Amino acid sequence: MTKINRQWRLKTRPEGMVDTSNFDWVEEELGALPEDSVRVRSVYLSLDPTQRGWMRAQRGYRDPIGIGEVIVGSGVGIVDESTHGAYKEGDIVVGMLGWQDYATFTGKGVDSLTQVQPMDGVPLHYYLGVLGFIGMTAYFGLLDIGDPKEGETVVVSAAAGATGSLVAQIAKIKGCRVIGIAGSDEKCAWLTDDLGLDGAINYKTEDVFARMRELCPDGIDVYFDNVGGDILNAALALINNYARIVACGMISMYNAEAPVPGPSNIVNLIVRRAKMEGFIVLDYFPRAMEAIMPLGQWLMSGQIQFRSDVVDGLENTIDTYNRLFTGENFGKLIMKVADDPMTEAK
């Protein structure tokens, strides 16, 4: 039976938030699988703020997505067909599957796939979240770069999001006082009531600087920045001597079409002998298990919670993607493309 591959391809470079007019919906027949190749059926696709940068013409830490190309992105799926010795039909893999039903990897491209040993009851999208690169981002970003010490004050922005919520909980496990910043009262209540944070600030309704000063009477030792902009500027004003600012993401700038002014309080890095350091999680992939093992244990013991926001249907990807920027997502944003064998359709 001929299989149809549904795909989202880049048609025009978005200005501001993405729109369906920036993409082509393509349905094409799959051809025969070449030698030395693996064809993967997508189950879940990860929607990530960084993909917005890849849609621009400028080169970032990877090449831009070309006009006419399938939108690049990570996903978890099932090997549908293989002519490669390392994989067989039914294997579960994580890789850059892209916004499509089927991704084909040939020759050296096969090396980019990671095989997963799935566990019953653990949804496969966890391998794109807490047990995947999001978990690694939080773990290495906080512990390697933020280097928090017991009793220190850690502030996290986008704290109810996938990365931020893990950072906040790991900081609590390490004995820190943790303040989260998020965009709704519901998210703030989750941070304090369910995750046990010491305070939360709704940046959409409160004066962030005033509340940060109130909730961090001893100043800020570690600021884990997911958003940049005014929130970064407020944190810079309150850092202690030898503070560490982890530059993980600056989502407030990702849809900007004009250069965004830099934070005026940057001079405090000098005054406070502080450091601000960026990182890309890809560089930590060789150390993956160093993060995944403790994260898995904390998850099983109930010391951390992980929330996912799963939306059904590849055809809904574009509208769903914008939730990352409006804050409508509550947890790791995932597109479900096919049945998950770990949780259903047994």
Ligand X SMILES: NC(=O)c1ccc[n+]([C@@H]2O[C@H](COP(=O)([O-])OP(=O)(O)OC[C@H]3O[C@@H](n4cnc5c(N)ncnc54)[C@H](OP(=O)(O)O)[C@@H]3O)[C@@H](O)[C@H]2O)c1
What is the contact surface with ligand X in residues (CB under 6 A)? Answer: 48-50, 134, 137, 158, 160-164, 182-184, 187, 226-227, 248-249, 251-252, 279-281, 324-325, 327, 329, 332
The partner residues of 26 in beta bridges, in order of sequence, read: 7
Distances from the Cα of 290 to the Cαs of 112, 132, 196, 222, 298, in angstroms? Answer: 20, 12, 25, 22, 13
Distance from C-alpha of 69 to C-alpha of 76, rounded to nearest angstrom:
20
Q: Residue 291: CB partners within 8 Å, gap ≥ 6? A: 135, 136, 139, 140, 284
Q: How many angstroms separate the CA atoms of 122 and 119, rounded?
A: 6
Q: Which is nearer to ligand X, 77 or 135 (CB)?
A: 135
Query: What Rg, from alpha-carbon coordinates, does the chain have?
Result: 21
Look at the block and give the residue holding tokens 């491209």.
Answer: 109
Q: How far is the CB of 321 from ligand X (least distance, A)?
A: 11
Instruction: Provide the 3-class DSSP secondary structure of residue 329.
Output: coil
Contact by Cβ (8 Å): 335, 314:
yes
Q: How far is the CB of 82 from ligand X (least distance, A)?
A: 30
| Contact call for residues 235 and 213 (beta carbons, < 8 A) | no
Task: Indicate the residue among 25 and 279 with the shorter CB distance to ligand X.
Answer: 279
- Cβ nearer to ligand X, comparing 53 with 110: 53
Q: CB 132 → ligand X: shortest distance, Å? A: 10
- Beta carbons of 98 and 71 less than 8 angstroms apart: yes
Return left, alpha or beta for 335; rule: phi > 0 is left, psi -120 to 50 is alpha, else beta. Answer: beta
User: Smallest distance, Å, CB 31 to ligand X?
Assistant: 34
* Least Å from the CB of residue 104 to ligand X: 26
Least CB distance from residue 8 to ligand X, whole Å?
A: 19
Decide whether 25 or 325 has the Cβ nearer to ligand X: 325
Cβ proximity to ligand X, 36 vs 147, nearer residue = 147
Taking the least distance from each CB to ligand X, the nearer of 191 and 238 is 191
